[in-house]
Chain A
Amino acid sequence: MRPRVGYQRFFRCAALELALMTTIAVISASASAGSVKTSVSAVVIAPANVSDTVLIHASSALVSDVTANLTIRLPGAGLPGPDNRPLHSASATSLAVLSNDCLQTIRILASCVKRMHKDGMLNGDPVSNIMLNAAVDTRFARNDVGVTVTYN
């Protein structure tokens, strides 16, 4: 039985030394390096849909602004929310509605002025009564006004 005592001491000492060296190595490693994690996030939402296009017909009376109605659907619209109410994203979204691409379709000179017609929070599904204006400075003009809907 006795010889084991010597071996046991030897192994105990070896284990102790190994543990000490490991501790030193760990302390050394933690002192010379460090790391940290950051989270990365993104939220994808459904795009806004323009459910109708706007066609503005000029007339002899068109010497100032002409209005037309635009109806759009908001991101997330169509999906039922709690109690069948529109989702938050569908009930309040900030969009800018711009008229653009004012095309002169007859030879009479007519100029369209691009205007921002709605900019801010929109509510409802779909959203209607977004009135667009086309400013034309001459008579006998007929203009198709394109519309761009963008997120704010």
Chain B
Amino acid sequence: MNSSIFQSKIFRRAALASIVALGAFGASNSFAAAKSTASTATVIAPIGITKTADLVFGKFAPDAVVVGTVTVDTSGARTATGGAILSTIGSTPTAAQFDVTGDNNATYTITWSGAASLSDGAGTPNTMVLTKISDLTAGGAVTGEVTGGTLGTGGTQSIYLGGVLDVGIAQAAGTYTGDVTATVEYN
């Protein structure tokens, strides 16, 4: 019984509200002159990012007594310091490249996440510390990380990622891998 009361109350209230609304609508039509307002909406292109090249350090050898580093700058050029010895056989170093698309002239932030070191995947993994280098040009930057950009008039911009690897003394031979994620977001 209470339920039917409840429902009928709801029904009555709804009916009353409808009448009031209709009355108000009718009244407004009866007395007021029409006035228009301009409503505008701007639909912007969603921001997107794609990868067109991976970061590849290529082949190199460690030293038995001296630590070293291998750097791939944002142009893809590779250099070594300390005991690291570079090899060019079957080894084509490249900087990673990301292409960002979105609204013309829009500004956006770049967030980097992922591996801080590369691992050889062994049972007890051997690792090399990775320091990221990024820039908005392939100009050969060897330090620094870019954290934002502005899309061009065509709504595009590229981001380049290089890095520095710390090579340990007698670093174990093997293939070392890791993942780095770039996230872009409109400001």
Contact = CB atoms under 8 A, between A and B. Distances in A.
Q: Do A and B come from one complex?
A: yes
Interface stretch (A17-25, A29-37, A60-68, A128-136): A29-37
B128 interface: yes
A47 B61 CA distance: 5
A45 B63 CA distance: 10
27 contacts: A2-B3, A6-B6, A6-B7, A6-B10, A32-B46, A34-B47, A34-B48, A34-B183, A35-B181, A36-B182, A37-B114, A37-B180, A38-B53, A38-B98, A38-B179, A41-B55, A41-B56, A42-B165, A43-B175, A44-B62, A44-B172, A44-B174, A45-B60, A47-B85, A48-B85, A93-B87, A151-B89
B91 interface: yes
B185 A33 contact: yes
Given A34-B48, A39-B178, A41-B175, A48 B54 contact: no
Nearest to B4: A2
B5 to A, nearest CB: 10
Given A46-B61, A93-B89, A37 B98 contact: no
B136 interface: no
Given A38-B181, A39-B179, 12 more contacts: A6-B7, A34-B49, A36-B98, A36-B182, A38-B182, A39-B178, A40-B55, A41-B57, A42-B176, A43-B176, A75-B87, A152-B88
Contact of B96 (A6, A32, A38, A92): A38
A3 interface: yes
B167 interface: yes
| CB-CB nearest 6 A-B residue pairs | A42-B57, A35-B183, A31-B46, A3-B3, A33-B185, A47-B61
Contact of A38 (B54, B58, B60, B171): B54
Interface string A85-106: 0000000111000000000000
In this complex, the interface size class of chain B, counting residues with CB under 8 Å from chain A, is 35 or more
A87 to B, nearest CB: 11
A5 to B, nearest CB: 8
Contacts of B120: 44
Contacts of A40: 54-57, 96, 115, 118, 130, 163, 177-180
Interface in B143-187: 161, 163, 165, 167, 171-186
Given A38-B51, A40-B115, A40-B118, A45 B177 contact: no
